[in-house]
Every structure is written in structure tokens, then in C-alpha cells.
């Protein structure tokens, strides 16, 4: 487990299997047009990983629903960001 996974492991989630609340609109844009790829560095839950081909993989299971990725993707607006369905997603015990 890497640094952030270890942290996320302590959190409580109710996963909405098969219905991610965040999507990359066009993966091609991440791979070939975006040079910054800030999402891979700034997401506090490490949901965005940079692949060997320069593409971005998004796995929302550990998402803390902060909104960072949506805001920093300001050049291409390539992040489709919704709240999870009611009752799903991260459920803070202490907040």
C-alpha cells in the first residue's frame, strides 16, 4: 500500500458500484493535449494516476469529494464532477 492508500484505508465509504460520480470527459485530451496533469499531483486521495503512455487513470473509490480535480482542470474542463447519489461515497466518522 502506498502512502495515501494507507490513509484512505481508515475511512468509511459506501461505494456506488459501477456508478462513478466523476468521469474524465475525453481521456484523449489528458493523454495528448494536457501537459500539466495537475490532477495526478493534487488530488488528496490519489484518485488520478499517470500511466506509462502519458494517459490518466481515474479510480474514484477513495474520493474525499473535495472538488479539487474539477477546479484545477481549468484549461480543458475535462472533469465531469457530480456528487455521489444520496447516501453514497465517503462517510466521515469525525469530519
- Residue ranges in contact with other proteins by CB under 8 A: 3-4, 7-8, 10-11, 14, 36, 38, 41-46, 64-68, 70-72, 74, 81-87, 89-95
The DSSP 8-state label assigned to residue 83 in this structure reads P
Contact criterion met (CB below 8 Å) for 58 and 23:
yes
Minimum distance of other proteins from residue 43's CB (angstroms): 8
Tell me whether residue 28 or residue 36 sits nearer to other proteins (CB atom).
Answer: 36
Minimum distance of other proteins from residue 63's CB (angstroms): 9
Minimum distance of other proteins from residue 78's CB (angstroms): 13
Amino acid at each position: 500500500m502506498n502512502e495515501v492508500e494507507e490513509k484512505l484505508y481508515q475511512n468509511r465509504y459506501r461505494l456506488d458500484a459501477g456508478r462513478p460520480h466523476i468521469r474524465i470527459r475525453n481521456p484523449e485530451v489528458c493523454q495528448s493535449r494536457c501537459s500539466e496533469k495537475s490532477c495526478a499531483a493534487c488530488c488528496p486521495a490519489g484518485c488520478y494516476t499517470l500511466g506509462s503512455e502519458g494517459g490518466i487513470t481515474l479510480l474514484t473509490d477513495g474520493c474525499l469529494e473535495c472538488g479539487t480535480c474539477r477546479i484545477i482542470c481549468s484549461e480543458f474542463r475535462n472533469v465531469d464532477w457530480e456528487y455521489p447519489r444520496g447516501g453514497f461515497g465517503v462517510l466521515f466518522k469525525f469530519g
